[in-house]
Amino acid sequence: MSTYLPAALLASLQELPGYNEAAFLQVHASGERVTSLRLNPAKVPDAVVAAQVLQSLGPTPPAPVPWSQYGYYLPQRPSFTLNPFFHAGAYYVQEASSMFLEHAMRQTCNLLQPLKVLDLCAAPGGKSTLLQSILANGSLLVANEVIRARAGLLADNMSRWGAQNVVVTNNDPRDMSRLPGFFDVLVVDAPCSGSGLFRREPEAVAEWSPDNVALCSQRQQRILADVWPALKENGVLIYSTCSYSKEEDEVIMDWLCNELGAENIPLQVPAAWNIVVTHSDKRNCEGYRFYPDQVMGEGFFIACFRKTNETAAPARRQKDTLPALPKKEQEKVYSWLHDTASLFLMEHQGEAIILPAQLTPAVALLQQQLYLRKAGVKAGQLTAKELVPDHQLAMSTLLAAGIPRVTLNHTQALQYLRKEDPAVPTGIKGWALMQYEQMPLGWAKVLPNRINNYYPKELRILKEI
Ligand code: SAM
């Protein structure tokens, strides 16, 4: 069978467990596309809303992704851009194999306890949105991305997800050594040679070479060595790639054990899922390979480890506090929120930021050590008279029930998301939430004869129907 896949890649896969060349070539030649998404349980609280969101994406009921509580395969690929629920943060479009992170987390961590989790290579936010959905109340998720522009995209996606317990940072992995023993869990979804995505992105094949695989393997080792000190003793490391190459997968497992003293954690994986169990040559570490001819998803590799070696205790600092919003300004913010008891309001450059109160010492420490792109939920800009609400507040799950809302139909919702001014009679004056099927899309200021659309310009839909 003729193929667009590099001969050197195919040759390197011959000896790998589970590799079936004929089936592998066939699935790449088929051009078949698997589309999957994960619902946001914070915004899709029950089966009725879930059915409503999924029906808006096509008539055929989606099938669940076996290893993810909130994951679904769509029988067709709809236009997500023209689906208002997408802009409301009701779901995240994510490749299905990657959702296995959920199974790995459930098997290696106690998800009933609050955890501090670092997603080191986080943009555009697939793994971070997943982690946020499964972590217990009181947990802190640090979603980091080293490339600045990608950190911006990550921050937008996390804002749309709506959670207040996420901090988005823009740091090099080596900066994490300033936080010794700080995290309970490290997720390293490493930059890789990307062969696992060749079916979906055949144009990426041109960049693949054995030399690049070797470079990626070196870089993965450097990233892991840099971030390792930030994991606490007995903490869990979850390492993943979207590469089939042994140098980026099994060889890294051996390297983690030999060089960092990591201890491999095997997982229970139902045989019916057709995920291939693989072992490293030297230390017999167990990892999991996903081949697109065997699972409904793209190529993926994942393995879990525990840090058993002793780690320096996190340094206690004198001033782990954040600047609180003055009392009289707090009132301007509280009136927008449904539950204020467990929240801390912080002032930052004339803006009010909402954080879970119990996370303030941790966020203060992060602020001293890292570059914070976003922390918690930005409530808005404080003027002498009022709070000018931010889009993050509209996307959050913190809003008071009494906030005026304008319900838009599908056409009006798309007009609003294009930053046009939908003509809707409202009977309201002032700030209002524009919503579609009860899901907030953003803010508008309603004037007697028109609506001022406050949807962020940079997020507006540009695509025509
Ligand atoms: N975890 C993401 C998700 O699920 O949406 C995908 C992450 S992608 C596989 C790898 C990320 O690592 C990219 O966002 C890339 O910009 C970042 N990256 C590239 N070079 C890096 C480096 N030297 N150190 C850390 N991260 C790097």
Q: Is the pLDDT of residue 149 over 60?
A: yes
Whether residue 57 is contained in a domain is answered as no
Dist. CA 192 → ligand 1 center (Å): 8
**Pick from 76, 54, 73: nearest CA to 63:** 73
Domain identity same for 336 and 282: no
Q: Does 452 lie in the same domain as 376?
A: no
Q: Does a structural domain hold residue 234? A: yes
Answer yes or no: do 331 and 376 share one domain.
yes
**Do both 227 and 333 map to the same domain?**
no
Choose the residue to mutate in 118, 121, 129, 212 for probing ligand 1, maximizing ligand atoms within 8 Å of C-beta: 121
Q: Report the CATH number at residue 254.
A: 3.40.50.150
Atom of ligand 1 nearest to the CA of 192: 9
Give nearest CA residue, ligand 1 atom 14.
123
Distance 48 CA to ligand 1 centre (A): 36
**22 and 133 in a common domain:** yes
For residue 310, is it left (φ>0), alpha (ψ between -120 and 50) or beta? beta
Total structural domains within the chain: 3
Question: Tokens 């993810």 sit at which residue?
Answer: 68
Per the CB < 8 A criterion, the answer to whether 77 and 279 are in contact is no
Average pLDDT over the chain reads 95
Distance 298 CA to ligand 1 centre (A): 17
pLDDT tens string 359-418:
999 999 999 999 999 999 999 999 999 999 999 999 999 999 999 999 999 999 999 999
Ligand 1 centre distance from Cα of residue 120 (Å): 8
Task: Encode pLDDT of 222-258 as tens digits.
Answer: 999 999 999 999 999 999 999 999 999 999 999 999 9
Q: What would the pLDDT profile of 287-299 be if each residue is shown by its tens digit? A: 999 999 999 999 9
What is the residue range of 337's domain?
A: 317-393
pLDDT at residue 309, rounded to an integer: 83
Mutate to test the pocket of ligand 1, among 146, 168, 187, 220 (most ligand atoms within 8 A of CB): 146
Q: Do 244 and 300 lie in a common domain?
A: yes
Q: For ligand 1, which residues put their CB under 6 angstroms from it? A: 98, 121-127, 145-147, 150, 173, 189, 191, 219, 223
Same domain? 250 vs 339: no
Structure tokens at 367: 């602020």
Confidence of residue 315 (pLDDT cuts 50, 70, 90): low
Overall residue count recorded for the chain in this entry: 465
Q: Are residues 244 and 373 in the same domain?
A: no
Q: pLDDT value at position 228?
A: 98
Confidence label for 116 from pLDDT (cuts 50, 70 and 90):
very high
302 and 360 in a single domain? The answer is no
Q: Mark whether 139 and 269 lie in a shared domain.
A: yes
- Give φ, ψ of 239 to 5 degrees: -110, 135
Question: Within a 13 Å sphere around the CA of 435, how many CA atoms are in the beta-carbon half?
Answer: 19
- Rounded to the nearest 5°, which phi and psi values hold at 120? -75, -40
98 vs 126: CA distance, rounded Å: 8
Residue nearest to atom 8 of ligand 1 (CA): 191
- Output the residue whose Cα is nearest ligand 1's atom 9: 191
Q: What confidence category does residue 458 fall into, taking pLDDT thresholds of 50, 70 and 90?
A: very high
389 in the same domain as 415: no
C-alpha angle 405/407/409, rounded to 5°? Answer: 160
Q: Which of 89-98, 181-190, 316-325 has the lowest mean pLDDT?
A: 316-325
Ligand 1 center–CA 125 separation, angstroms: 10
Q: Which atom of ligand 1 is nearest to the CA of 124?
A: 5
Q: Residues 26-84: pLDDT tens digits?
A: 999 998 999 999 999 999 999 999 999 999 999 998 999 999 999 999 999 999 999 99
Name the 3-class secondary structure at 22: helix
- Give the strands of the sheet with 387-389, arranged side by side: 343-348, 351-356, 377-382, 387-389
Expressed in angstroms and rounded, the spacing between residue 112 Cα and the centre of ligand 1 is 28
Residues 348 and 432 in one domain: no
Question: What's the CATH code of the domain at 428?
Answer: 3.10.450.720
Q: Is residue 167 a part of any domain in this protein?
A: yes
